[in-house]
Structure 1
Amino acid sequence: MKRNAGKKTFRVWHRRIGVAIALFLLLITVTGMLINHANQLGLDRTPVKNKLLLDVYGIGAPHALQTFSYQQRHLTLADSRVLLDEQLIWESAYPLIAAVATEQGWFVASQQQLIWLSPGGQLIDTLDSASGLPTPITGLGQVQQSPLLRTPEGNWLSEDEFLSWTRAHANAEIVWSEPDGNTPEHMVLLARSQHLNWERVLLDLHSGRLFGSWAIWFWDVIGLLIIAMLLSGLWLWQSKR
């Protein structure tokens, strides 16, 4: 009688563990399939906008976030990233400090570079000290629709499509770069999301790393439980014969 009761309890736990393992295998299968087709689904290019996930990954707000508006278009500088109308269009190797819009397009400056973008956000040119750009840049403005650079040595303009730079006249009417007022909260979230895409989340969920180092051991335990399920299943099958 005790043997039958023990076997019944064993079967109950066998089924419960089986359900848990089935859910685990479902997770592994679904995430694996999504990872295999991540490129076709655009998951490698889709930023994660979930605050909880961003917090789990330790992705905070950018140190510097500025938005500049021109003719109903909005250019945002988030540390080293450039977004136009909430779409990532450029990532610099250096922190970005200012931007101006002219009839020639957008000009975005870091201390070491001047990035020239078309009004629609396409890259036209990247200028640095190797191309004669005065550095370090400490400020950006414009004079009559031409970008002006401020450096410790003075203010600089180019009159030949940025092939050379000359000092600006002392009485030049400079319009300095000025960002918009307070940046909307959703732009802060959007800037954070540029550091994480859904393919990365799926890869970490598939491997268990999303839940920290302890989860790797949990996956190992699941593997051992699968082996135990197979062996116990064989034992139950054998006991019925």
Structure 2
Amino acid sequence: MSADSTNPKPPRRARRPGWWPWHQRLGLGFAVVFLGVIVTGIALNHTEGLDLDGRAVPGQWLYDWYDLSPEGEPVAFDANGWAVSWDGLLTWNDHVLGASGPLRGAAKFSASEVLLLSDHLWVITPAGDVIERLRGASLPPGKPRRLGRTVGPRPVVIETSDGIYHANLSFAEWTPMVTRQAVVWADPVTLSVAGRDTVQQAHRGRGLSWYRVILDLHSGRFFGSVGVWVVDASAVALAFLTLTGTWYALRIKRP
């Protein structure tokens, strides 16, 4: 018997196509993007279980990255606590009360705090819990201008475009103030640096959820327009890898 019959030659290795180096380069180049899309996609698929939409992001650098600081300048009043309206949001110390118009005044009355806005009146506890909100016919006629305090059975004073009115702490009836009484008007103050930081924290705490951050990472928007293009390019690369890899695996190998 010949040596060739007893020692058969090993099968010849299939020749790789010319695009094979690109298959490797694209796979390695976009590996991190592929993993990121996979991980964030799994997280988004379990949004409810992970409570991503209800949990605020704690990292302050992320808020700076998203530029979520309130716009404009705050309107603040000191009433044994900070009452602030800033960029359409009303806060009491670090407690968010809700969307609001301009703040006209804030003052402490007995065990409650009274906050006057351009279209309604808030009555809250010192802890920031809402007792009641008054608007429309529950307020004196005219557009509110400022809030004040006086002594006597009707200590709450509001100046409107129609005149000056006062009421007791039940706010049941507003009557024109016809007698001259000393009124201490609430004047706006400048927020301290610490107070400004507290209000910004209140704004930020309600504006950025984990769902938004993970969704932006998944789509690439977290990194701006460049990130979107990178994710789009990775999708094209993945399609190329899938098609070429499948073709290479299924092609007929010839001896």
User: Shorter-chain TM-score category?
Assistant: 0.7 to 0.9
Q: RMSD across aligned C-alpha pairs, in angstroms?
A: 3.5
- The answer as to whether partners of 2:140 and 2:160 remain within 8 angstroms in 1 is no
CA 1:39–1:16 in structure 2 vs 1: closer, same or farther (change >3 Å)?
same
Q: Which residue pairs with 2:47 in the alignment?
A: 37
- The answer as to whether partners of 1:141 and 1:177 remain within 8 angstroms in 2 is yes
- The answer as to whether partners of 2:93 and 2:199 remain within 8 angstroms in 1 is no
User: So what's the TM-score if we normalise by structure 2?
Assistant: 0.72
CA 1:31–1:84 in structure 2 vs 1: closer, same or farther (change >3 Å)?
farther
Q: Secondary structure at the match of 1:202?
A: helix
Q: Which residue pairs with 1:196 in the alignment?
A: 207
Q: Which residue pairs with 2:122 in the alignment?
A: 115
1: CA distance between counterparts of 2:87 and 2:105?
11
Amino acid at match of 1:91: G
Comparing 76-85 with 33-42, which one deviates more in the overlay? 33-42
CA 1:168–1:84 in structure 2 vs 1: closer, same or farther (change >3 Å)?
same
CA 1:156–1:84 in structure 2 vs 1: closer, same or farther (change >3 Å)?
same
Q: Secondary structure at the match of 1:139?
A: strand
* Alpha-carbon offset, residue 60 of structure 1: 5.0
Q: Which residue pairs with 2:89 in the alignment?
A: 81
Which residues in structure 2 correspond to 1:5-24 (within 5 Å)? 7=18, 10-11=20-21, 13-24=22-33
| Structure with greater helix share of residues | 1
Q: Which residue pairs with 1:46 in the alignment?
A: 56
Q: Which residue pairs with 2:132 in the alignment?
A: 125
Q: Secondary structure at the match of 1:138?
A: strand
- The answer as to whether partners of 1:156 and 1:167 remain within 8 angstroms in 2 is yes
Q: Which residue pairs with 2:148 in the alignment?
A: 141
Q: Which residue pairs with 1:174 in the alignment?
A: 183
Q: Deviations over 1:218-241 (max 9, x none)?
A: 533322211101122234445795
Amino acid at match of 2:54: D
Q: Which residue pairs with 2:197 in the alignment?
A: 186
Q: Secondary structure at the match of 2:144?
A: coil
Comparing 93-102 with 117-126, which one deviates more in the overlay? 93-102
Runs of at least 5 residues in structure 2 that lack an aligned partner in the other structure: 1-14
Q: Deviations over 1:61-85 (max 9, x none)?
A: 33241344454x4333323322233
Whether 2:200 is the aligned partner of 1:162: answer no
User: So what's the TM-score if we normalise by structure 1?
Assistant: 0.75
When the two structures are aligned, how many residues end up with a matched partner?
232
1: CA distance between counterparts of 2:41 and 2:181?
61
Q: Secondary structure at the match of 2:30?
A: helix
Runs of at least 5 residues in structure 1 that lack an aligned partner in the other structure: none
Q: Which residue pairs with 1:63 in the alignment?
A: 72
Q: Secondary structure at the match of 1:27?
A: helix
Whether 2:235 is the aligned partner of 1:223: answer yes
Tell me which structure has the larger Cα radius of gyration: 2
Q: Which residue pairs with 2:9 in the alignment?
A: none
- The answer as to whether partners of 1:129 and 1:135 remain within 8 angstroms in 2 is no
Comparing 135-144 with 32-41, which one deviates more in the overlay? 32-41
1: CA distance between counterparts of 2:149 and 2:49?
41
